[in-house]
């Protein structure tokens, strides 16, 4: 974690603790302490390396014993990233336009370093920090690396950054997302609309990037000021959340969002969300076969969809705005952080059964441990500058470890050490809370406020602003029903209403006939009229 004095801004002393799953005080290992001001830190993807900048230099050490791998004289570094196979360290510092004879454009602020030789591979210009997370972007085998430069995507092969191996040129390329996994690599490209033309996202497979038939899939849409693109783990499909800054209908100050689905086989779809309102979060399951969407005006709905964009399970409504799958994909946490009270719903997604419902008030950070058994919640600056600290939980709701910062200090960041994929196998889900000295914080049922003058009277049903919707399983065959689209459901209701009307008419006729057999001639005339 990154702890800093309250008088410092985005800086602090690095104090790394390795916390074992037992999470007792005896298992806390103070690995090293750097008392100098720190600007950033990060783990490598396999968790074997750790790097940080203390305002004087950037250091890279081994997590196993703390031995130094490399040191770089980069005091202004504020962002760090390892390449997937730990061959390259990427450092970024704020861009300055200070010009000189040697550098008329200013100093190159994005630098790529060889971790084996500690030599500079390439110095590049990266002015905008917004695109840091995708620039540069590697495939997991490091055979492909992509950068966005002046509306073009530049592809480099085998970490040779002196030669551009391939280019994808499209007018006004705004964003891209490289697929996970190895070869063949695929890339999703977003081009915003202009002059009445729609925005669109296209999928390409490297190195086939040119020609009218090169795109694997194409999806165009209006109402998009920005998009978020998410590949599933198998790189077979992409979810695109398109957002506008302003909702022209005036229904929401969150703007307006739509969710689109694109598959590498060319299939595209608009994901139908039955409740109006913003899309708070979209999360792929690690099995790549389904995804969860949290959406709608509060209380928000959460629904799991399959690859046909059909709803599989509806979690009903509740105070939530985020979804987190465990690394193994067997547990899903629906949480309400930020301006919500921190309620977490832990679900077994194979049985669709709720495991626990703890609360983490004022939490600004949540992440799963790679073992799929523990989570961490934290209250960090600058989102909240008071009551900073973190808690480590078992997913059954037990608090196993708690730490609060000292007075006058702030907590800026908390991260789990990463591990290679499949390091931790999936374990059977437990429903009984594990023992803990700190207990658990299960959400308590709150009652509606009653004025003092009415508290001595019997409780009466009160009107609500909304009715809570219970969870319901929508899988075909579970209740003998199929999941239907809106139009199919509407037509089905019409058919059922018509059939019910005919049944009522038939019963009414039979009743008149029975009465008319022993009635007068006038009654028989009425019967004949009904027959016609």
- Give the per-residue SS3 of 169-217: ECCCCCEEEECCCCCCCEEEEEECCCCCCCEEEEEEECCECCCCCCCCE
User: What percent of the chain has a predicted confidence (pLDDT) above 70?
Assistant: 74
Band (pLDDT 50/70/90 cuts) for residue 487 is: low
Write the Ramachandran bin of 445: left for phi over 0, alpha for psi from -120 to 50, otherwise beta. beta
Strand-pairing partners, residue 259, are: 241
Q: What is the pLDDT of residue 156?
A: 93
Predicted TM-score (pTM) of this structure = 0.78
- Return the minimum-mean-pLDDT range out of 32-46, 47-61, 182-196, 215-229: 32-46
pLDDT (tens digit per residue) in 339-375? 888 899 999 999 999 999 998 988 999 999 999 999 9
In 3D, which of 20, 18, 52, 50 has the Cα closest to residue 35?
52
Scored b (16 or more CB within 10 A) or e, 10-38 reads ebbbbebeebeeebeeeeeeeeeebeebb
In 3D, which of 139, 215, 208 has the Cα closest to residue 180?
139
3-state SS assignment for residue 80: strand
**Cβ atoms of 204 and 215 closer than 8 Å:** yes
In 3D, which of 217, 220, 219, 182 has the Cα closest to residue 203?
217
Residues with Cβ within 8 Å of residue 291, at least 6 apart in sequence: 232, 239, 282, 283, 284, 285, 304, 305
In 3D, which of 285, 298, 339, 293 has the Cα closest to residue 315?
293
Instruction: State yes or no: pLDDT of 337 exceeds 80.
Output: yes
Band (pLDDT 50/70/90 cuts) for residue 520 is: very low
| C-alpha distance across the termini of the chain, in Å | 84
Distances (CA, A) of 82 to 52, 56, 64, 133, 305: 11, 20, 17, 12, 33
**SS3 breakdown of the chain: % helix, strand, coil, rounded to 5?**
10, 40, 50
pLDDT (tens digit per residue) in 428-467? 999 888 877 776 665 555 566 667 777 777 765 554 545 5
Q: What is the pLDDT of residue 526?
A: 34
Distances (CA, A) of 177 to 129, 174, 223, 321: 16, 11, 20, 24
pLDDT (tens digit per residue) in 150-192? 878 899 999 999 999 998 887 778 888 999 988 899 999 998 8
């Amino acid at each position: 974690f990154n702890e800093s004095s309250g008088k410092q801004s985005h800086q602090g002393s690095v104090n790394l603790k390795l916390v074992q799953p037992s999470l007792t005080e005896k298992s806390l290992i103070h690995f090293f302490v750097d008392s100098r001001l720190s600007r950033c830190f990060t783990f490598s993807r396999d968790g074997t390396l750790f790097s940080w900048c203390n305002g004087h230099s950037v250091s890279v050490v081994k997590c196993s014993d703390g031995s130094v791998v490399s040191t770089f004289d980069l005091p202004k570094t504020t962002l760090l990233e390892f390449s997937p196979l730990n061959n390259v360290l990427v450092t970024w510092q704020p861009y300055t336009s200070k010009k000189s004879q040697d550098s008329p454009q200013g100093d190159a602020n994005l630098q790529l370093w060889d971790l084996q030789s500690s030599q500079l591979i390439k110095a590049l210009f990266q002015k905008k920090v917004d695109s840091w997370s995708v620039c540069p972007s590697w495939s997991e085998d490091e055979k492909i690396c992509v950068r966005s430069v002046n509306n073009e995507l530049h592809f480099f092969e085998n970490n040779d950054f002196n030669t551009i191996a391939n280019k994808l040129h499209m007018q006004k390329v705004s964003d891209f997302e490289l697929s996970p996994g190895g070869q063949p690599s695929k890339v999703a490209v977003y081009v915003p609309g202009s002059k009445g033309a729609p925005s669109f996202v296209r999928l390409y497979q490297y190195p086939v990037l040119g020609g009218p038939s090169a795109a694997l899939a194409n999806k165009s849409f209006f109402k998009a000021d920005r998009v978020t693109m998410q590949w599933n783990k198998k790189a077979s499909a992409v979810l695109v959340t398109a957002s506008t800054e302003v909702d022209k209908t005036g229904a929401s100050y969150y703007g307006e969002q739509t969710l689109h689905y694109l598959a590498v086989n060319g299939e595209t779809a608009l994901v139908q969300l039955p409740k109006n309102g913003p899309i708070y979060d979209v999360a792929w399951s690690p099995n790549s076969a389904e995804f969860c969407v949290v959406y709608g005006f509060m209380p928000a709905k959460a629904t799991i969809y399959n690859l046909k964009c059909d709803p599989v399970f509806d979690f009903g409504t509740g105070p939530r705005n985020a979804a987190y799958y465990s690394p193994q994909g067997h547990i899903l946490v629906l949480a309400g952080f930020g301006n919500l009270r921190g309620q977490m719903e832990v679900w077994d997604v194979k049985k669709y059964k709720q495991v626990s419902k703890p609360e983490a008030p004022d939490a600004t950070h949540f992440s799963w441990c790679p073992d799929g058994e523990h989570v961490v919640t934290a209250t960090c600056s600058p989102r909240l500058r008071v009551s900073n600290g973190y808690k480590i939980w078992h997913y059954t709701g037990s608090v196993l470890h708690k730490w609060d910062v000292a007075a006058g200090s702030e907590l800026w960041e908390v991260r789990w050490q990463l591990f290679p994929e499949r390091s931790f196998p999936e374990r059977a889900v437990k429903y009984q809370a594990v023992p803990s000295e700190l207990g658990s914080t299960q959400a308590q049922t709150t009652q509606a406020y009653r004025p003092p003058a009415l508290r001595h009277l019997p409780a009466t049903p009160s009107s609500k602003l909304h009715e809570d919707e219970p969870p319901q399983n929508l899988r075909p065959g579970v209740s003998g029903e199929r999941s239907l689209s809106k139009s199919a459901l509407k037509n089905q209701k019409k058919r059922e209403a018509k059939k019910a009307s005919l049944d009522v008419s038939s019963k009414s006729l039979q009743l008149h006939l029975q009465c008319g057999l022993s009635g007068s001639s006038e009654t028989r005339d009425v019967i004949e009229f009904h027959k016609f």
